[in-house]
Structure 1
């Protein structure tokens, strides 16, 4: 905690610092810089470059510009819309690295308003200098820094409401009981609920004796809940010292309003600050600090989990005291001893098997608060070594992150009461009460689930940059880079260490060549193989600067090509050892229940894995081509990239390469087959980004379309399969494998004449599957590739309309080609599970021609409830993710006041989903519902 307090003191000092200000750049200078596209520079690996000199595989988002027209509370909220190449992954790779101000950090610990720029580094040549753990792509976030000028204060405030999109629809008590009886009859069992009981639950005459408990009722849920935020930014400085700091707080409530859940909240308080100093005309320094206090309070109830499982007829949350028979003093006294009498009602559990209920938990089970504290600090020194060699610089960075989390709260137990009902003269009364448990409150606060994470980053580099005869632009870099993360509960630290080298040259900003390479070091690999060499080469040609393009429509036209090999240890891991250390070593252990007589009765020795002293890095081998430019005086800007990469040498235990006696399949099992570099995956695709800018009268229009299409397939696997269709080779890595359905069995005769279904007893109304290999039985050998679970094509579309002082911004995302699977408890209703409205379309002999759902069963439904195309649906959709209208107060109105700028906005998020399967896409089972968000806010500059 002492680090946190030091950080607060440091940031507070920055917040109230004031230094002499130098004159700001004139508006004319700023406009000229923008028109010549030299402002701002783009942050790439360990340096910044002019936009015009960017080579392929790099995209950038100007977050300062975005914040003027669109609000988001997610630091990466615009990435998949504003630029191409990102779809929750970078060029098909999901384990991308997040870099914040040169340090490895979490993206969720920086807010959008704090960000200056986001750079998406996609190509191998763009990420190689970061080392092996950046081999699958990098998102580089650069936060705001102070600028030369007078003290400047920005105030942001906003407030809005979340409203649920939809709730799961479950059957009421009477309908559930009726269909559960049907399920028992289908299974050859007697009914469970009498017609009289079902009638009483349906009539609603006494909902306390015959409950119909709806956890999605407005009795327990609000129509909307609030999120409010306030943020202040302070910046300014001179040529010697510049400073920036921001502090803010947000608080978010919840949808629940029963018991202590009404007090549920999430809050975040933060302070971030930085200072840039010119210590000497040859020495510059930076210091940054950030501290975050995050809390999440909740009553001790799993409301949404129980809402998906608790059947409606089992419990009544409260029963009025008036139902207790007047002469039954014992029962009345028993209940009155409870600490939780609410409005003349007492808690009731239901039965001995269900002695509690979620409403009672919300009032009396206690509470818990998740606490997270994070402190970050980093510093940088830039030393100009031009007196030794013109153009030579030394730069060094060091940063630390410390995060601790824990849960604190109070646990309580409470009494519940199960009544015995009778009916006297047509009136329901409680004749006796059974108490379960007792009211107990602990005065001791529980602290548990404590965890910590500590990360340090360090790098040092020599840069050499010269321009010779105004034509030859040279850049060189030699660097050492390392970062390491230590986490509680993990013995091994996550480590990235590498040396790096870069040599870049361009002639008149027309012809480009860049060679970037890294030498990683990893202790995951055996000695002798821990060092590797990762080379990349990129060539560029700005065709727009050629004489034959002088009168063309193109303002800029950059063609790039790159190739490279990155050695990475991200995939040196296995399901039995996620850390990935010592996988090259044999595992020998005792096992079995018998031994040789001369072993003294000890167990036998087992080999679980063999040695592989030749294990080496997994290699990303990539070729990419890019085309970036603009035409017709920047009417149209575009950026296209094609990529083809292989991830070669993934770990596998390949039984086909070793004699069969290397593996013992009997008891105890044993194997001396080692992990070797064998698997190969291939990713191929293209990304694009196109922006059109047009002024029509007084209206400025900007339309942007970006996106990506990619294929990811397995190219090499060790397989021992009997049928070709079971092969994973040349099939998607991220696919659904399952059975192909052929409708329902309509009769016992049809079942007897069909291939044998081996997944349990089959009856009419069960799903029939295709026998792929014609062997007369349905088993796992009949699984086929059904489709990809991700969307191979994703596109972001955004529109900006500016008229006078109003700006309208809208964005949406299009997803095509993916498939979802209806495989949660809402659709797979089995055993004693809760029934959703899906079962109304069940198969019965009367509905055989129109049924869309299998027969009901009280068994585990092993035949029906398994992955197959019966449950699959198309994931194609268009999401209207945000619409915002901003009004900027004219300067003439503010003239003469202390206010330098003032704007107001109204926005809405997650407004609309257009899809054939919209209901399935918007449904959330076992968790809080998906929501829309409506918000009002303002921003003032002083």
Structure 2
């Protein structure tokens, strides 16, 4: 009852906002901060505990701050321990700070353990809980955008439940792109199953010295996520929640019915093949005078706003013996399209128990349930068809019947087509223990178990389509689909940790063993022709075997490993680390099952040398270098051995089941190996007033596993072989600045990153050409490939004067794209294609700035790329592609209105050079995006004490607020578009308001 009373009281605190500033009896407190040796300390941070109010000491070490007798002041300065002092009746305070840097003693989570930040010799980045808690995000992966150098997080869709990021660490190093390994409390899993508010810290391991301890899993880098744990003290409760509104970031503006018809006639006229107009003047006038109404198909399937909300409750506390943290959260995201929604429930409990002075145990459990609802046909096909249907294709006929159009009616799919529901349930359990054997030596054992179940159900309603006269033209049968998949993972980790300090030496060593297994099983069944749309079970469908579809498969793998690490530091200046891991994977044959992955790294803390020790403005200066190898096993589980498959066939009028080998195999395939060299420099000056980090890296991936092309008559796809070598080189820079001016605290963080990959060898099988993609020695992987262009012909005479002509084409004129005859043979054909551009973004950057003043705080985040090739394809490039409706920007830029875009031509004629892919369609895709703005207010501790709360903050936040790019099309998102048609579910601008309470 007391808790309920407190909650009711807390709801009143917003009404006290205006009197908050005069609530307490404040007075001026002054003082001096010095070292144990009596030296005055300028630049010391002085903050009132529980608030964002503070100041810094001046050049004489003096400070002045207005507060009251109930406050506690916190004094902190890099290189010295933090001190807290109760104000009480004091008006003057003398504060002494002892050496023992809290910042440099910061502990960072690394693979299978922790390290002091000062001793880290690898390349890694961290995101702390303060950054996480202050920003509302739909998924954990959204935290990576623009915040860390070398980490590229790309969101390809804003669809509810499908808006997770693709995360790439330091770019692509293999044709078999390997996603980053995500470890949550020691267990590999998807980061998007986690409630972001449960996260204590995130560490990104980038170079081989940091990732080699994970061996075969680590080719794509490693992301370590640590969840919150209980702390000793009385029980505390917390609530964090927000509600928000979503809107699309990009708006499609299609031409209306009259303009569409006139442009269609113009396109046919430009073709010069058929002199008859597509539409008569009478038909056009029917729409012009309002007798008939045009349609915007995209507007018909998508609204302009949708709601989003999240609510999170926590409880934590404990004693010396037992500490606990528990949470529960609910996330709900509505869709811009009908019958579209995503909900996620998360529950977590972490318990640490000290059994005795030697034995400590921990138990962690997590459960999440995600439910995604969408129309049976999905969202993608509806968006695609809405983009290509014309404004004169009616959604319904005048008699009320649905129009079938060409591929079906997306509006009917959305409104009456039925539902597809995907239900994911994930359960994770972790049991662990630490036992102190002797002083400095302990044994650690962790067992992880995860069970995931995916249940999908879909029912597609029967649809009859009639024409305007009521004649049946098409029937789409009803059908029901039931899908089940389950994944069971178990992992055992056991290790010995040893740590010892003596004289000027520090030694930390670890040796461990791990065993991981995973089994995935899947089965599905589809049945057609139900008597009614109201019974959604498999058994109610047609009894005819022709109306049944069944399928199922399974996959499993196991990996067994030994690993070890040694860290050594001498005088806290000279640092050394070595890692080694031996993996045995079931994905390779007996002769190549095991791989060995070592790494070495060195560091030198120059700032600890005697010649810099007394240079006050140099706070930290460290150089480091590393070399190491990691493996890649991102291939099928049984590529090394032939496998059997079953298929049904009709022989002699009867159905039989046949078993056959479904592929060729290569028992000699072995590990891909990625070798990384990294050099880094870290520096901080003037007590962390400004600092920077620079990393330069080279990666070479050898023995790349690939399917070498074979002739079609071979009958099977070629087996995988170790044939490729790819180099990936780059650099990263981050600059940071923080300061305090009176009551105003602020920070600015900048990061910039670039990398390039280059194919070194593909076993003399290149070039590999796949439509617009090109892979060969000396070029980036999957580079853009096509014709060169030289602008647009301005007159028919200029076009006819060009002796080179298009293959099968002699109707080139003013307004057409001028393609270049590269080989000079007088014919423009496939032999004139060449490498056009790099699909990978260059010079990715992030800008993060924020601050606080008297309880108010703000945070602003930008991200972008300074160089990027964005390719427009299909209807995004060529109007009337599949009879698609032109967009307003295409009309504005089309010749002769502008010289930027070719003239319109009729759909799919051989006379249009715009149909050939050329660099004309490669756009300058550099961009900058205002990714997030958050503004908050934290109420004073004095005010909250009266209502029994320990902290309270209200905030407003916005995501994807503004984007600037040089792209022609305002409908193409420069962040996600490599070969884009702009026909997918858009990214979203989200505007939220929230509250965070603790008591």
TM beyond 0.5: yes
Q: Matches of 1:697 and 1:498 in 2, distance apart?
A: 55
Range moving further from structure 2, 134-143 or 178-187: 178-187
Query: Among 82, 95, 98, which residue is 2:147 paired with?
Result: 82
Q: Matches of 2:774 and 2:985 in 1, distance apart?
A: 38
CA apart distance, 1:68: 5.1
Kindly tell me: are residues 110 and 796 of structure 1, through their superposed partners in 2, closer, same or farther at Cα, counting changes over 3 Å?
same
CA apart distance, 1:633: 1.3
Asked if structure 1 preserves the Cα contact closer than 8 Å seen for 2:368 and 2:427, the reply is yes
Q: Matches of 1:270 and 1:868 in 2, distance apart?
A: 49
Asked if structure 2 preserves the Cα contact closer than 8 Å seen for 1:225 and 1:254, the reply is yes
Kindly tell me: are residues 33 and 787 of structure 1, through their superposed partners in 2, closer, same or farther at Cα, counting changes over 3 Å?
farther
Q: Matches of 1:849 and 1:110 in 2, distance apart?
A: 50
Asked if structure 2 preserves the Cα contact closer than 8 Å seen for 1:221 and 1:255, the reply is yes
Matched, 1:465 2:495: no
Q: Matches of 1:779 and 1:226 in 2, distance apart?
A: 52
User: Which residue number corresponds to residue 572 of structure 2?
Assistant: 509
CA apart distance, 1:568: 3.0
Q: Matches of 2:234 and 2:370 in 1, distance apart?
A: 33
User: Which residue number corresponds to residue 125 of structure 1?
Assistant: 209
Q: Which runs of 5+ in 1 are unaligned?
A: 1-23, 320-345, 421-432, 574-578, 589-604, 656-662
Asked if structure 2 preserves the Cα contact closer than 8 Å seen for 1:838 and 1:853, the reply is no
Matched, 1:372 2:416: no
Matched, 1:810 2:864: no
Q: Matches of 2:798 and 2:861 in 1, distance apart?
A: 56
Asked if structure 1 preserves the Cα contact closer than 8 Å seen for 2:368 and 2:425, the reply is yes
Matched, 1:51 2:117: yes
Q: Could you list the per-position Cα deviations for residues 407-453 of structure 1 after superposition, in whole angstroms to 9, with x for gaps in the alignment?
A: 33543224555334xxxxxxxxxxxx43567999x8xx945232222
Q: Matches of 1:273 and 1:759 in 2, distance apart?
A: 69
Q: Matches of 1:299 and 1:483 in 2, distance apart?
A: 38
User: Which residue number corresponds to residue 484 of structure 1?
Assistant: 517
User: Which residue number corresponds to residue 618 of structure 1?
Assistant: 672
Equivalent position SS for 2:684: strand
CA apart distance, 1:931: 2.4
Asked if structure 1 preserves the Cα contact closer than 8 Å seen for 2:708 and 2:765, the reply is no
User: Which residue number corresponds to residue 202 of structure 1?
Assistant: 288
Asked if structure 2 preserves the Cα contact closer than 8 Å seen for 1:310 and 1:834, the reply is yes
CA apart distance, 1:455: 2.2
Equivalent position SS for 1:493: strand
User: Which residue number corresponds to residue 884 of structure 2?
Assistant: 833
Asked if structure 1 preserves the Cα contact closer than 8 Å seen for 2:579 and 2:599, the reply is yes
Q: Could you list the per-position Cα deviations for residues 160-218 of structure 1 after superposition, in whole angstroms to 9, with x for gaps in the alignment?
A: 1112233222222232223323434426233332221121022212xxxx34111344x
Asked if structure 1 preserves the Cα contact closer than 8 Å seen for 2:870 and 2:925, the reply is yes
User: Which residue number corresponds to residue 562 of structure 1?
Assistant: 626
Kindly tell me: are residues 908 and 680 of structure 1, through their superposed partners in 2, closer, same or farther at Cα, counting changes over 3 Å?
same
Matched, 1:188 2:269: no
Matched, 1:714 2:759: yes
Matched, 1:212 2:212: no
Equivalent position SS for 1:919: coil
Q: Matches of 1:732 and 1:243 in 2, distance apart?
A: 50
CA apart distance, 1:381: 1.4
Matched, 1:244 2:294: no
CA apart distance, 1:869: 0.9
Q: Matches of 2:521 and 2:909 in 1, distance apart?
A: 39
User: Which residue number corresponds to residue 95 of structure 1?
Assistant: 179
User: Which residue number corresponds to residue 425 of structure 1?
Assistant: none
Query: Among 336, 345, 351, which residue is 1:255 paired with?
Result: 336
Asked if structure 2 preserves the Cα contact closer than 8 Å seen for 1:608 and 1:670, the reply is no
Kindly tell me: are residues 355 and 684 of structure 1, through their superposed partners in 2, closer, same or farther at Cα, counting changes over 3 Å?
closer
Range moving further from structure 2, 371-380 or 878-887: 371-380
CA apart distance, 1:467: 1.6
CA apart distance, 1:510: 1.4
Kindly tell me: are residues 897 and 215 of structure 1, through their superposed partners in 2, closer, same or farther at Cα, counting changes over 3 Å?
same
Normalising by structure 2, what TM-score?
A: 0.77
Asked if structure 1 preserves the Cα contact closer than 8 Å seen for 2:589 and 2:640, the reply is no
Kindly tell me: are residues 859 and 824 of structure 1, through their superposed partners in 2, closer, same or farther at Cα, counting changes over 3 Å?
closer
Query: Among 714, 718, 733, which residue is 2:781 paired with?
Result: 733
Q: Matches of 2:437 and 2:396 in 1, distance apart?
A: 75
CA apart distance, 1:155: 0.5
C-alpha RMSD of the superposition: 3.5
Q: Matches of 1:671 and 1:177 in 2, distance apart?
A: 49
User: Which residue number corresponds to residue 317 of structure 1?
Assistant: 396
User: Which residue number corresponds to residue 919 of structure 1?
Assistant: 970
Asked if structure 1 preserves the Cα contact closer than 8 Å seen for 2:673 and 2:701, the reply is yes
Q: Matches of 1:519 and 1:438 in 2, distance apart?
A: 60
Range moving further from structure 2, 302-311 or 788-797: 302-311
CA apart distance, 1:896: 2.7
CA apart distance, 1:838: 4.9
Kindly tell me: are residues 200 and 937 of structure 1, through their superposed partners in 2, closer, same or farther at Cα, counting changes over 3 Å?
same
CA apart distance, 1:137: 0.6
Q: Which runs of 5+ in 2 are unaligned?
A: 1-49, 51-71, 83-100, 154-167, 173-177, 523-552, 646-659, 975-980
Kindly tell me: are residues 778 and 521 of structure 1, through their superposed partners in 2, closer, same or farther at Cα, counting changes over 3 Å?
farther
Equivalent position SS for 1:280: coil
CA apart distance, 1:668: 3.4
Matched, 1:880 2:930: yes
Q: Could you list the per-position Cα deviations for residues 131-157 of structure 1 after superposition, in whole angstroms to 9, with x for gaps in the alignment?
A: 212122101111111111110111011
Q: Matches of 1:479 and 1:513 in 2, distance apart?
A: 20
Q: Matches of 1:497 and 1:477 in 2, distance apart?
A: 17
- Note the 1:260-659 alignment, pairs <5 A: 261=338, 264-300=340-376, 302=379, 303-317=382-396, 319=398, 347-350=400-403, 357-386=409-438, 390-420=439-469, 433-434=470-471, 446-469=480-503, 471-489=504-522, 491-552=554-615, 553-570=617-634, 573=635, 579=636, 581-583=638-640, 613=668, 615-652=669-706
Q: Matches of 1:438 and 1:56 in 2, distance apart?
A: 63
Q: Matches of 2:678 and 2:733 in 1, distance apart?
A: 13
Q: Matches of 1:147 and 1:476 in 2, distance apart?
A: 28
Matched, 1:932 2:989: yes
Q: Matches of 2:847 and 2:897 in 1, distance apart?
A: 45
Kindly tell me: are residues 485 and 312 of structure 1, through their superposed partners in 2, closer, same or farther at Cα, counting changes over 3 Å?
farther
CA apart distance, 1:282: 1.3
Q: Matches of 1:607 and 1:223 in 2, distance apart?
A: 48
Kindly tell me: are residues 567 and 922 of structure 1, through their superposed partners in 2, closer, same or farther at Cα, counting changes over 3 Å?
closer
CA apart distance, 1:742: 2.2
Asked if structure 2 preserves the Cα contact closer than 8 Å seen for 1:607 and 1:672, the reply is no
Range moving further from structure 2, 174-183 or 632-641: 174-183
Q: Matches of 1:139 and 1:402 in 2, distance apart?
A: 21
Asked if structure 2 preserves the Cα contact closer than 8 Å seen for 1:235 and 1:243, the reply is yes
Q: How many residues align?
A: 827
Asked if structure 1 preserves the Cα contact closer than 8 Å seen for 2:954 and 2:994, the reply is yes
User: Which residue number corresponds to residue 73 of structure 1?
Assistant: 138
CA apart distance, 1:236: 0.5
Kindly tell me: are residues 52 and 617 of structure 1, through their superposed partners in 2, closer, same or farther at Cα, counting changes over 3 Å?
same
Equivalent position SS for 2:907: coil
Equivalent position SS for 1:169: coil
Kindly tell me: are residues 75 and 748 of structure 1, through their superposed partners in 2, closer, same or farther at Cα, counting changes over 3 Å?
same
Q: Matches of 2:767 and 2:148 in 1, distance apart?
A: 45
Q: Matches of 1:563 and 1:637 in 2, distance apart?
A: 25
